[in-house]
Amino acid sequence: MGDSDLKKNKPIIGITSTILDIEIKGEVNPSVQTNHQYVKAVNEIGGIPIVLPVINKEIAKEYADICDGIIFASGEDINPSNYNEPPLKELQKTNIARDEMELPLVKYALEKRIPIMGTCRGLGVINVALGGSMKQNIETKERLISHNQEISRKLPSHNVTIKEDSHLYQLLGVNSALVNSKHHQAIDVLADSLRIAATAEDGTIEAVEAIDKDLFILGLQFHPEELYSADTNMLNLLKFFRKACGKDN
């Protein structure tokens, strides 16, 4: 089977990344980094995973031209200047170059009707790109739920309630799910073009989707790529995303 035949049968799914400085023998080497679990998950559901390096904002349009679907991966905090707020002291590491590439990539993808899914930071990227904002820090001792779990991300730590009028509920057929949680930020103002699909017990927005039914947008505060091997609901989430990307046999 040639390269062209392979592309006809499997959707190309881009996965965003960051730049990680790795020291080798005393020399710092900037490296492209994304969690390998995304790569494994895309392969598991029948897609071709390609990692999208941070280069510049101009490359975003070219990424949208070659991908059948895009996963906006986890990582650094989004710089609050992107939603016109000053940084709070609780703000953690940001990456301006990554923001500058990923925020327009959301818009280019939607212009081309490319399905997008965001997890953790990726949820925030989608919301901010579409005009929403973020709570820069939500972790306090008074919270009902610790959203920055101390156990592995491969284990769930709290429940989410799925709205029965959501597309997510129609896809999964369940009104609750167990999820993992490794974040200190969350959606504050929801973008006008999105609607809430799931929430945690403390009201934290855990999943969003497009109001426009012709667009496939799935933003998740949790990490299905870490849970799919042991949880049918998480595997089905990923499969529905892959199906939206097309090229099913």
Catalytic residue list contains 223: yes
Asked if residue 55 is part of any domain, the answer here is yes
Q: What's the domain count of the chain?
A: 1
Q: What is the pLDDT of residues 121-169, one digit of tens each?
A: 999 999 999 999 999 998 765 566 778 777 787 887 889 999 999 999 9
Asked if residue 101 is part of any domain, the answer here is yes
Catalytic residue list contains 90: no
Catalytic option among 183, 223, 226, 245: 223
Asked if residue 54 is part of any domain, the answer here is yes
Asked if residue 249 is part of any domain, the answer here is no
Write the CATH number for 74. 3.40.50.880
Q: What is the pLDDT of residues 98-114, one digit of tens each?
A: 999 999 999 999 999 99
Asked if residue 152 is part of any domain, the answer here is yes
Burial class (CB in 10 A: 0-12, 13-18, 19+), 85: middle
Q: Which amino acid is at 14?
A: G
Catalytic option among 102, 120, 183, 206: 120
- Report whether 102 contacts 52 (CB < 8 A): no
Domain assignment of residue 60, given as a range: 3-244
Asked if residue 64 is part of any domain, the answer here is yes
Catalytic option among 206, 209, 225, 226: 225
Strands (E), the chain: 12-16, 18-24, 27-33, 48-52, 69-72, 116-119, 134-135, 158-162, 176-179, 186-187, 194-200, 205-210, 217-220
57, containing H or E segment: none
Catalytic residue list contains 158: no
Asked if residue 203 is part of any domain, the answer here is yes
Confidence of residue 8 (pLDDT cuts 50, 70, 90): low
Token pair recorded at residue 213 = 């039914």
